[in-house]
Amino acid sequence: MRKVDLLVIGGSAGGILSANTARKVYKDISITVIRNTKTVMVPCGIPYIYGTLKDTSKNIIPDKMITDNNIDLIIDKVTKINKEEKYVLTENNDQINYDKLIIATGSLPIVPSVIGNNLENIFSIYKNEVYLNDILQKIKDLKDIVVIGGGFIGVEFSEQMQLNGKNVTLLQRGDKCLRRNFDAEFSAEAETLLKENGVNVRTNCKIKEFVGKGKVEGVKLETGEIIKADAIILGSGVKPNSDLAKDAGLKINDNGAIAVNEYMNTSDADILAVGDCAEKVSFFTRNDVPVLLASTAALEAKIAGYNVFKNKLTRKNKGTISAFSTKIYGATLGAAGLTEKQAIENNFEYVIGEFNVMDKHPGSLPNTKKIHMKLIFSKYSGIILGGQISGGDTVGEMINIISLAVQQGMTAADLNTFQVATHPLLTASPIAYPINGAAMNAIEKM
pLDDT bracket for residue 313 (50, 70, 90) = low
Q: How far apart are CA 257 and CA 246, in angstroms?
A: 9
Asked whether residue 314 carries a pLDDT value surpassing 70, the answer given is no
**Phi and psi for 51 in degrees, rounded to 5?**
-150, -80
Which residue segments constitute the domains of the chain, with CATH numbers given? 2-36+76-108+239-307 (3.50.50.60), 111-236 (3.50.50.60), 324-445 (3.30.390.30)
Indicate the angle between helix axes 294-307 and 13-25, nearest 10 degrees. Answer: 30
Distance of alpha carbon 323 from alpha carbon 321, whole angstroms: 6
Confidence of residue 1 (pLDDT cuts 50, 70, 90): confident
What is the rounded average pLDDT of the residues 282-301?
A: 91
pLDDT tens, residue by residue, 258-276:
999 999 999 999 999 999 9
Task: Say if residues 234 and 135 touch (Cβ distance below 8 Å).
Answer: no
Q: What is the pLDDT of residues 322-347, one digit of tens each?
A: 999 999 999 999 999 999 999 999 99
Distance of alpha carbon 363 from alpha carbon 168, whole angstroms: 35
Report, as an integer, the average pLDDT of 155-160.
98
> According to the model, what pLDDT value does residue 228 have?
98
- pLDDT > 70 in the chain, percent: 99
Instruction: Tell whether the model's pLDDT for residue 290 goes beyond 90.
Output: no
User: Residues 176-187: what's their mean pLDDT?
Assistant: 95
Q: Is the pLDDT of residue 64 over 70?
A: yes
Residues making up the chain, counted from first to last? 446
The DSSP element (H or E) to which 300 belongs, if any, is: helix 294-307
DSSP labels, 67-131: HTTT-EEEE--EEEEETTTTEEEETTS-EEEEEEEEE---EEEPPP--BTTTSBTEE---S-HHH
Could you say which DSSP state residue 141 is in?
T
Q: For residue 156, give the DSSP letter.
A: H
